[in-house]
Structure 1
Amino acid sequence: MMTHQPYQSLTLARHRAHMLSQIRQFFQDKEVLEVTTPILSNAGNTDVFIDSVAASFHRFGKRVAGHLHTSPEFAMKRLLAAWQVPMYQLCQVFRDHEKGARHNIEFTMLEWYRPHFSLEDLADELCELISLVLQKDIKFQRLSYSDSFIPLGIHPFVSSIDGMRQCALAHGITLDMGDDRQGWLDLLFSHLIEPKLGMDAPTLITDYPPATAALAKTAYDEAGHLVAKRFELYIHGIEIANAYDELADGAELLARFEADNAERARLGRTIMPIDTHLIHACDALPPCSGIALGVDRLFMVRHALDDIKYAIAITTDIA
């Protein structure tokens, strides 16, 4: 039987290997520890709209249900609580049902944590890394989540669901999110705002609704709205990275995970086993900021690729 040829060329594979080497050297120069954590876990991601890949295994002759990680976050935070040092990881992660020009079920993530870094400190370091990888001096534009909706005449913390529904219909979007307020915001953002972000310069979106950032601290913005201490980086309409001022409160984290599972149950989705190791370690986390970056997507930007399949040697569909 003939094997499907990889979409990625040898030339692009060499460029990708060089980019990964640059990333590792960047962190080595800053004395950030490279770590390796398990891909297979007993627990799963409770995020309502992320699907973990199930993977069963055997322990002492008994079959155990597990999951492939959707990010190395939970295990890395356990190391961070124990070791209290800056660390990073380059690894494969898995999210089920992800397929498209910017998605593959298995993809490469860069994740790093910086104790005693503010989100502003982390944004500066991210800018330094992006400048290195793209081989030019970069300056980020900044835009709050609320201000990104201004062209639509919507305020994400004030506008009614009916107002959002009318906005969607006016732009030809007929999906109905019912009474799911965040669902409407996600719909409008993904269809009408996200594709236009980061066209002139890489753009940081800040101050998200708390419902969008389960593992971030919250604070009140200047207008008195409760927001998540989080930013996302967009380049050429592509989401590249997602950063949090990390929550370090085990009881609060457990409450958020349980609320996620309650919502999953309401929607008829699988209830996910909670990582109790993380819950116990969370209270020992140092004040820190953390970030996850899509390596394949950054490589797409670097080489002006229009499909993620050219950034990955062998994609899930031909594996």
Structure 2
Amino acid sequence: MSQSSNPLSSSNIYAPTMTLSMARKRAKMLDNIRQFFAARQVLEVQTPLLSQAGNTDTFLQSVSANVIYQDRLRSYYLHTSPEFAMKRILASWRVPIYQICPVFRDNEIGTRHNIEFTMLEWYQPHYSLTDLAAELGTLLTALYGTTVVLNHYRYVDAFMDFVGIHPLTASIDALQAVAEDKGLTGFDFTLAEDSRQSWLDLLFSHAVEPNLGHELPTLIIDYPPATAALAKTALDKDGHLVAKRFELYINGIEIANAYDELADGQALRQRFEQDNALRRQHNLPVMPIDEHLLAACDDLPPCSGIAVGIDRLLMVLTGAKNLQAVIPFPSGLA
């Protein structure tokens, strides 16, 4: 490779890791997305990147920023997703909305991770998860330029097919034994508030995810209730309590995450407070709760919402092997 073609060569350390050809593909994809939503009369919105509230999720670490506001030093947080602010808009305007924006998650670096990345998020009032999945399929068809059929795969079924044990009924000891049998050793979730879900997450990420979405884009549906976050819960066909959400996988890569949105301010407050209790247990900073979001829940229409990783989507559309090929400046070079 010549120095001129290698953006990391010593004589060209300023150059983007993304080629001009890929930049044009990225611009075309973003234009196609905006045309798709314009044709469906979904309003594009823009919300602040900085917020006084943070994400309480134990597994998502917010990037903090010190700002001077009203002559006082205050801690703000770069959003991990535009969800909270978009729901405030949805509660007020009650129309379909979408946003394409940078989001930030601390300590995430790798071939599929970056501290700053781009997210597409949209909300459809009075849409079920089935409606939203159909719209996602239509968007993917527009972006691929050919008809896309989505495979629907229950979390329970995927887990049993690739791990060989029922995730919602197996004992914690059984899950640990299966993990160790698969070479996943050195993990101790004894002190975790939900050690069952910790073992499930470990097994799912290592034994299930790599197998998903290679023949058809795959929606994993009906997740364990501990993963509900801001989604509703309900009983599945077997009578087990599950989270009403799905995730999209293509070529073993998680691309999107969707919820049948929970519009219950008191229930959300309890979940946020439980998150913060878990954060204390893990010596993580307690995050300010978004009181504006909780107030908006009383006026939020029934809706479903979805977040799509734009950079990962471009990876699978173009066959790129890592994020560095589809963004100009990874966090280490920014």
Q: Name the TM-score, length of structure 1 as normaliser.
A: 0.98
What does residue 251 of structure 2 align with? Answer: 236
Does 1:204 pair with 2:219?
Answer: yes
Is 1:162 aligned to residue 173 of structure 2?
A: yes
Give me the whole-angstrom Cα distance separating, in 2, the residues matched to 1:252 and 1:30: 32
The one-letter amino acid of 1:189's match is: F
Q: Distance in 2 between matches of 1:147 and 1:175?
A: 27
Contact 1:177 1:183 (8 Å CA) reproduced: no
User: Which letter maps to 2:234?
Assistant: A
Aligned residues: CA RMSD: 1.0
User: Secondary structure in 2 aligned to 1:149?
Assistant: helix
The C-alpha deviation readout for 1:42-76, integer Å capped at 9, x for no partner, is 00000011000001111111001010000000000
| C-alpha distance after superposition, 1:62-109 (max 9, x if no partner) | 001010000000000000001100000000000001110100100000
Deviations 1:198-235 (A, max 9, x none): 01100000000121121001100111111110000000
Which amino acid is 1:154 matched to?
I
Counterpart for residue 69 of structure 1: 79
After superposition, the C-alpha distances for 1:124-172 in whole angstroms (9 at most, x for unaligned) are 0000001111221110111111111113221111001111111111111
Q: What CA distance in whole angstroms lies between the structure 1 residues aligned with 2:138 and 2:50?
A: 32
Q: How many residue pairs get matched?
A: 319
> Take 2:228 and 2:314, find their aligned partners in 1: how far apart are those partners?
25
1:177 and 1:184 in contact (8 A); partners too: no
2:240 alignment counterpart:
225
Q: List per-residue Cα deviations over 1:159-203 (Å, max 9, x = no partner).
A: 011111111111111132423110000000000100110011000
TM superposition shift of 1:3:
3.9
Specify the SS of the correspondent of 2:74: strand
Provide the C-alpha distance between the structure 2 equivalents of 1:305 and 1:40, rounded to a whole number of angstroms: 31
**1:155 partner amino acid:** H
Identity %: 57
Task: Provide the residue aligned with 1:153 in structure 2.
Answer: 164
CA–CA distance in structure 2, aligned partners of residues 188 and 82 of structure 1: 41
Distance 1:18 1:176 in 2: 44
Q: Does 2:186 correspond to 1:175?
A: yes
Contact 1:217–1:228, Cα closer than 8 Å, also in 2: yes
- Equivalent positions of 1:126-137 (< 5 A) are 126-137=136-147
1:16-55 C-alpha deviation (Å, 9 max, x unpaired)? 0010000000000000000000000000000011000001
The one-letter code sitting in structure 2 at the alignment partner of 1:316 is S
Q: Which residue in 2 is equivalent to 1:189?
A: 204
Listed as ranges, the gaps of 5+ residues in structure 2 are 1-10
**Is residue 93 of structure 2 the alignment partner of residue 83 of structure 1?**
yes
Gapped regions of structure 1 (runs ≥ 5)? none
Report the Cα distance in structure 1 between the residues aligned to 2:319 and 2:144, rounded to whole angstroms: 11
In 2: Cα distance, 1:228 partner to 1:192 partner = 21
Deviation larger for 113-122 or 127-136:
127-136
Task: Tell me which amino acid in the other structure corresponds to 1:201.
Answer: L
Q: For residues 1-319 of structure 1, what are the structure 2 equivalents within 5 Å?
A: 3-151=13-161, 152-179=163-190, 180-319=195-334
Structure 1 residue 2: deviation in Å?
6.4
Given that 2:63 and 2:106 are in contact with CA atoms closer than 8 Å, whether structure 1 keeps it comes out as yes
The residue identity in structure 2 corresponding to 1:278 is L
Which secondary structure does the structure 2 equivalent of 1:154 belong to?
Answer: coil
Aligned-partner SS, 2:299? coil
Quote the Cα distance in structure 1 between the aligned partners of 2:46 and 2:116: 17
